[in-house]
Amino acid sequence: MRTSQDTGFVKYINLIIKTCLVCMMMTIALLTLYQIIMRYGLSKSSSWSEEAIRFTFIWCSFLAVSIGIREKIHIGINVVVQFFSEKVQSAIEIVSYTLIIAFSSQLVFYGAKLVSSTQFQSSPALGIPMSWVYLSVPTMGVLIIFYSSLEILSLIKFLINNKQKA
C-alpha cells in the first residue's frame, strides 16, 4: 500500500500547526480553569474569558481539521472501496481529494468575503476585530487544499510507480 512521506517543508508546516494546537488547547484549559475559579470561587464571572475560550476553540477546531486531512484520521466509509484493486482505490482517493479541494476552495472564497465584511466589527468582550476570528475559515481552506494536493501528488506517484513495475 501507499505511504506518503513528508518533506522538510511539510514537516515544518505540520510542526507549526501542531505546536499552535497544543498552545491553544493549553490556553483553553487555563482560561476555563480561570473562569471556574472566578465564577465559583470568587463569585465573579469574567465575560472576556468566555469569549477568548470560544474564539480559541474555533481556531483550534479549524486547524485540527486540516491536520486530520493530512493524517487521514477523519471518518471514512470504505466498505465498498476495499474490494477494488489498489489502483482503483487510488483513483477513487484522487477523485475524493479533488472534491475536497473544490469544497475547500469555496471555503477560501466565501471565508475571505466574510473576513472582508467583518473587518470593522469588534467582538463584544475582547474588542478584537471579528475578521480575526473568521480568518480561521479561509485559513482552514488553504491548509486543506495544500494537504489534499500533497495527497493527490502522492497517489499519482504511487500509480506511476505501479504502472512501471507492471
pLDDT digits (tens, 9 = 90+) for 22-51: 999 999 999 999 999 988 888 888 889 999
**Measured distance CA(137)–CA(135) in Å, rounded:** 5
**Is the predicted pLDDT of residue 86 greater than 90, yes or no?**
no
Lowest mean pLDDT among 101-110, 116-125, 153-162: 153-162
Nearest-angstrom CA–CA distance, 88 and 70: 21
